[in-house]
Amino acid sequence: MNRFRAFIIKEFRHILRDPRTLLILFGMPVAQVLLFGFVLTNEIKNAAIAVYDPASDAESIELTQKMASSGYFRIERTLQTVQELEPAFRQGKIKLALVFPPNFGQRLNHEGRTQVQLIGDASDPNTATTLINYASSIVQDFQRKRRGSEASQPYRVDVESRMLYNPEMKAVYAFVPGVMTLILMLISAMMTSITIAKEKEMGTMEVLLVSPLKPIQIILGKTTPYLALSFVNAIIVVLIGVFVFGMPMMGSIGLLALETTLYMFVALSLGILISTRAADQQTALFMSGLGLLMPTMLLSGFIFPRESMPYVLQLVGNIIPATWFNQIIKSIMIKGVGISYLYIQTAVLLGMAVVFLALSMRNFKDRL
């Protein structure tokens, strides 16, 4: 136990004394979450929109002008037919379309209730969701004002929003789970593989091997600090998600913590597996970057929605731990589901943890 403690102390000293490691461990997660969050919200200034207004009555024009003067939207096009909608999106000229029914003002005045359709380009889901949210609130505002002027009549404008290319609606905080999977992968897998490779590169592994330390002690000693730090990071990311970007936390925090720990074990064992193959830090960095981080970013549904991926890539995505963990976080935080809905994902991660851990233990040589 004494040996283990000494090892952990040593490992923490390495971490604390290396500004680069510290920056990756603590600067990067915060910077990434904030960057993703604010870049997305910043983009939404003067977003180009198209308007299709077959009604062209006082009410529809009023709403259109309200949109244009809000500062968020700029009327890029006024469409003559619905058919023009698709090409406008495809060319990337517009990010949102406002579609009125032919009898917008009439229904509003007579029936007290009408509709307006907001169509977003969900190939960029985060932006689309934000735009729709803004537009909806402008519509609400419009509605409230009208109600105010003629208090007797309860006007209602139903907003029907539709996401093109990505029917499963994502919220503005959709990136939070993605960033979390990425960061945990980065720290648990990449940092552990690099720190073990560093011992090899510096020759200190030679000395450790020619000591009574068992391989498992070396591995645990090297990984425990990173496990702890990953956990701290997970907490930071969740806190920023909840308190800065208003992400809900519907489900059980305990369950989230358990699932996160499971995912960290998977990542960690991948890191150890890489370190058994990589003789120096550069190789470890290259292998974990190419083999773990890239797929995590591209295929897990973090940046590109899995639904819009070709089937083959979706299959490849299935062997990426992040894909499953992504679903788990979203389900727990947004939908608030319990473990009973997450058996499959949990089982998959558990299986991965066992397989990778076994593989890495087997491959970790206690010789050179």
- List residues binding other proteins (CB under 8 A): 2-3, 5-7, 9-10, 13-14, 17-18, 202-204, 206-213, 366-368
Give SS3 for 24.
helix
Instruction: Concatenate the DSSP letters of all residues of 30-78 into one string.
Output: HHHHHHHHHHHHHH-SSEEEEEE-SS--HHHHHHHHHHHHTSSEEEEEE
Instruction: Concatenate the DSSP letters of all residues of 167-210 into one string.
Output: -S---GGGHHHHHHHHHHIIIIIIIHHHHHHHHHHHTHHHHHHT
Across the strands, what pairs with 78? Answer: 51
CB closer to other proteins out of 5 and 145? 5
Distance separating alpha carbons of residues 267 and 357, to the nearest angstrom? 10
CB closer to other proteins out of 62 and 201? 201
CB closer to other proteins out of 168 and 206? 206
Residue 306 CB, nearest approach to other proteins (Å): 42
Residue 38 CB, nearest approach to other proteins (Å): 35
What tokens were used for 242? 């909840």
Distance separating alpha carbons of residues 22 and 31, to the nearest angstrom? 13
Residue 282 CB, nearest approach to other proteins (Å): 17
Residue 18 CB, nearest approach to other proteins (Å): 7
CB closer to other proteins out of 93 and 362? 362
CB closer to other proteins out of 177 and 225? 225
CB closer to other proteins out of 190 and 205? 205
Residue 221 CB, nearest approach to other proteins (Å): 9
Distance separating alpha carbons of residues 171 and 175, to the nearest angstrom? 9
Indicate the residue type of 38: F
Residue 357 CB, nearest approach to other proteins (Å): 22
Residue 213 CB, nearest approach to other proteins (Å): 6
Residue 204 CB, nearest approach to other proteins (Å): 5
First CA to last CA across the chain, in angstroms?
26
CB closer to other proteins out of 203 and 310? 203
117 burial type by CB count under 10 A (0-12 exposed, 13-18 middle, 19+ buried): middle
Residue 2 CB, nearest approach to other proteins (Å): 6
CB closer to other proteins out of 3 and 74? 3
Provide long-range contacts, Cβ within 8 A and 24+ apart, for 241-247. Answer: 241/33, 241/173, 241/176, 241/180, 241/333, 244/33, 244/34, 244/37, 245/37, 245/172, 245/173, 245/176, 246/172, 246/173, 247/171, 247/173, 247/176, 247/333, 247/334
CB closer to other proteins out of 4 and 286? 4
308 burial type by CB count under 10 A (0-12 exposed, 13-18 middle, 19+ buried): middle
Distance of CA 226 to the CA centre of its chain: 22
